[in-house]
Amino acid sequence: MIYKNIQSMKTNKLSLGVVGGGPKSWIGHVHRISARFDDKYEIVAGVFSRNAKLSKNFGKSLGISKDRCYSNYVEMANEESKRKDGIKVVSIMTPPSSHQIIAQKFIEKNVHIISDKPFAGNLEQAKKLYKKIKANKKIKYALTHNYSAYPMVREAKKLVEKGKIGKIDYVNVEYIQDWSGGTKINKKNAKRKLKWKIDNKIVGASAVLNEIGSHAYHLASYISGLKGQAVFADIKQISKKIKMDDNAQVMINFDNGVKGMFWTSVMAKGGVYGLRIRVFGSKGSLEWVQNDPNYLKLNPEKGAVKLLERGFHNAEFSKQFSRIKFGHPEGYLDAFANIYKEFADSLKNKTKKRYFYPNEDEGLETAKFINACKISSRTKKWVKI
């Protein structure tokens, strides 16, 4: 009887395969923990490195059977599709320019996709992947713009939809980091410090925009419900010798005449995970800062500022995405896990329930935005998205 119960428990989990996220990958660790948070997935297969021996050894260290630790993603897709117990979902956590080609291979095998951001390395790849996803009605796709899954970000989105701040006028978003670790990047230390991020063939259209700028733009669109229509961008590179985009300042024209200001940088000395968004409307404004994620400021046009707390009074919607009581912090891993959990539910639910995880539509929009920024910065002109 105990054995039967164990078997039935296993069948309730979605079999998950992993591409990328090897032993030295921080984001791989984040994905694996997030996938296990709510017991919705079981990691049963994977390819974790371009080094076949390293990949297989790491897979076995995670408890994956030897015959399902693969040398490359093509082998994995082909072999898993032959198995009766083959993977139902694949999680992709490789550098940006590989997202499209890996996803397409598994889409051809009718495997659902959860991919790390950005959607693709550049707009051309994004269009191809978008078309591939839409052409296969048997699969679903989720993009881990994890900041969208914070409880108070979703509360902010709901407040905007309810008209609590009126008609939106302005959106201001910034995301800054310091990849240099406080040191000056030069030709001698660039590869050691920045690794593959200085290789455009791997990082894609823009290092700063693909890696963290895509998060900032997505967050602005996600909360406001608006799409960018045109941009005027100024993108800076580290130097003439190190051709990696490290800073982008962008003016955005959104739908309905809404104006936006966007700043992202990976060389802001002393900048540590500086993600902040403010949305201003005709009746007031909202402000959310990732370093203090449990709180959302609601500033009315007149009167005192309201500080809304996750899962507490006047923030009812956030309770749906909170695992613990108010007064206790809920953070980055939880937000990642929300996407995994929600995507699993969407695969099992046959009704037309609304889900909030980012998908290919938002992936394409972000790729269009990044491409327009590059053109605008080069031509010093407004460019339509």
- In the chain the domains, ranked by start, together with CATH numbers, are 2-146 (3.40.50.720), 148-325+357-384 (3.30.360.10)
134 phi, psi to nearest 5 deg: -65, -25
Bridge partners (DSSP) of residue 17 are 45, 90
**Amino acid identity of 141?**
Y
Please give the chain's pLDDT, 385 residues, in tens: 343 333 334 568 999 999 999 998 989 999 998 998 889 999 999 999 999 999 999 999 999 999 999 999 999 999 999 999 999 999 999 999 999 999 999 999 999 999 999 999 999 999 999 999 999 999 999 999 999 999 999 999 999 999 999 999 999 999 999 999 888 999 999 999 999 999 999 999 999 999 999 999 999 999 999 999 999 999 999 998 999 999 999 999 999 999 999 999 999 988 776 899 999 999 999 999 998 999 999 999 999 999 999 888 888 899 888 876 776 666 667 888 899 999 999 999 988 899 999 999 999 999 999 999 999 999 999 999 9
Please, are residues 272 and 177 in contact by the beta-carbon 8 Å criterion? yes
CA–chain centroid gap for 64, Å, is: 26
**Amino acid identity of 352?**
K
The predicted model scores a pTM of 0.84
Neighbouring C-beta atoms of residue 385, cutoff 10 Å: 18
